[in-house]
Homo-oligomer: A and B are copies of this chain.
């Protein structure tokens, strides 16, 4: 005796996923709100706890829910960062030509974000960018350089004012992704060139020059892109 006429399509778990997703989509479940117990959900949906758990697992991976051991299940803030967290696996698992495609996308988005940032960045944010730029140039530890490199671009993406774009770029620049590509790249004397490119980006930001910023960012990513393309060619 269900409260609703149960759709007969798909597996039980899939139906549960759709129903919970719909509840969130319709606003019946607010961000941050706590869901009923797994056991209660099982009763309400008329399915077993195992199936409920799989549905929750699926929604957790999608970034809609968050399970806290011993506490309960909660709806995430539903912000870009939450929903695009799993986007990074694409970058981590892509290979060959697909890596070039990803860099092409990153070039487009990164140049746009940098241009927007040039027009909107605040003094505080600019200071933060400069901090990472200096730290990047002050050390030779590849790990630390990479960390500040990531932070450098992340700060710029945030300054662009489009959180969703920043989240996507975050995924496209995930640690393992860049580590994989740059391992070979950096060994070809690209270190100095990278510094110059970063300096150029910073200069354009400080000058509040969107066009220069767009060009500098596109060139920066384009360098890596071209190198990768050459690696795959022959």
Chain A residues close to B by CB (< 8 Å): 11, 13, 21, 24-25, 50, 53-54, 57-58, 60-62, 64, 69, 78-80, 83-84, 86-87, 89-90, 92-94, 98, 101-102, 104-105, 108-109, 112, 162-165, 168
Contact = CB atoms under 8 A, between A and B. Distances in A.
Contact of A162 (B21, B83, B93, B101): B101
Given A62-B61, A112-B108, A25 B93 contact: yes
Contact of A80 (B13, B24, B101, B112): B101
One complex includes copies of this chain to the number of: 2
A61 B87 CA distance: 11
Nearest to A69: B11
Contacts of A58: 57-58, 60-61
Given A11-B69, A62-B86, A101-B165, 13 more contacts: A21-B93, A24-B93, A25-B92, A50-B53, A54-B54, A57-B58, A61-B62, A62-B89, A83-B93, A90-B164, A94-B164, A101-B164, A104-B162
Nearest to A13: B57
Contacts of A164: 90, 94, 98, 101-102, 105
A54 B61 CA distance: 11
B78 A165 contact: no
A207 to B, nearest CB: 23
Contacts of A57: 13, 54, 57-58
A53 B56 CA distance: 13
Contacts of A89: 21, 62, 64, 83
